[in-house]
Amino acid sequence: MDRIKAADDLIDATAKPARRARARHPHTDQSIHAAISRAILQGELKAGAKLPEHRLAEIFGASRERVRKVLHRLAAERRLEIVPNRGVRVPQPTIAEVKRVYEAHRVLEAGVIVQLVDMLDARMLAALDAHLSEERAAAERGDRAESVRLSGAFHIHLVDALGNPELSRFLRDLLSRSSVMVSVYEPASQSICAVDEHGAIVEALRARDAARAIQLSHHHFLHVEQRLRMEPKSAAPADLKEIFREAAKAPAPKKR
């Protein structure tokens, strides 16, 4: 009986640190999702970086089931990809895939602008101006993740103004893919260029010049595509503990 009790005590002592870690940092699905998403948008996770669920579970003090659920959600959002027998990784798109995605962006937004130019009112233009201010502020403070997010949100503002959920859904799917491409392949110093290009599109819309807005939009997506630097995957694995060091320390937000 003493030996059994001693074994139970040892198991309990071994389990206590993990339980204490989870108690201190009760990460939710959303907080883990936000941390991984931000690391991708920030460019900290490079193309092809692997995300083993057991390693993330250890870092976040969460169960593997919870981490697996988050990884599958991110894969459904096209921010990660699941490779059979190889696990989960950051997408590593080919040149051909990049070209297809940005061609779709150019064609879709041209159609959006044709319909939008006659619908724009003072309220919509004010919302776009406010959004541009947010973009510039994020670029000026060097917030890479927020700059990428806001850059995509600019195009969402345009399509959502049409009130067509099918077009909005299609654009969001494209942006999920292209935002990862920008995050892992575009130099951070180029972010401010996108803000200026967005501003020019808004000015053309303000002037009700559809042809000019379409031309600027076309060149904008072409410039983003051309700024991508398709570098080969690094041989060194990502230092996940360091990447998520701050996120893992922060407690999850309380449920309301």
Q: What is the pLDDT of residues 24-79, one digit of tens each?
A: 455 788 999 999 998 888 888 888 899 999 999 999 999 999 999 999 999 999 89
Q: What is the mean pLDDT of residues 227-239?
A: 72
What pLDDT sits at residue 148? 86
What pLDDT sits at residue 189? 55
What pLDDT sits at residue 15? 43
Bigger pLDDT: 2 vs 227: 227
Token match 């570098």: residue? Answer: 231
What pLDDT sits at residue 74? 94
Q: What is the mean pLDDT of residues 161-179?
A: 92
- What rounded mean pLDDT belongs to the chain? 84
Domains and CATH numbers, the chain: 2-92+233-249 (1.10.10.10), 95-227 (1.20.120.530)
- Segment holding 249, helix H or strand E: helix 245-249
Q: What is the mean pLDDT of residues 146-169?
A: 93
pLDDT confidence tier of residue 216, bands split at 50, 70 and 90: very high
Highest mean pLDDT among 44-48, 166-170, 234-238: 166-170
What pLDDT sits at residue 5? 44
What pLDDT sits at residue 191? 56
Any long-range contacts for 200-208 (C-beta under 8 Å, 24+ apart)? 202/125, 202/128, 202/129, 202/132, 205/113, 205/116, 205/117, 205/120, 205/125, 205/128, 206/120, 206/125, 208/117, 208/118, 208/120
Given a cut of 80, is residue 180 above it in pLDDT? yes
pLDDT confidence tier of residue 160, bands split at 50, 70 and 90: very high
Q: Are 198 and 167 in contact (CB under 8 A)?
A: no
What pLDDT sits at residue 11? 35
Q: What residue type is assigned to position 93 of the chain?
A: P
Bigger pLDDT: 232 vs 113: 113
Question: What percent of the chain is predicted at pLDDT more than 70?
Answer: 82
**How many whole angstroms separate alpha carbon 211 and alpha carbon 218?**
11
Q: Which two tokens stand for residue 147?
A: 């700059």
92-116 per-residue burial string, b: 16 or more CB within 10 A, e: under 16: bbeeeebeebbebbbebbbebbeeb
CB half-sphere exposure, 202, CA atoms < 13 A: 21
Confidence (pTM): 0.74
What pLDDT sits at residue 75? 94
Bigger pLDDT: 192 vs 165: 165
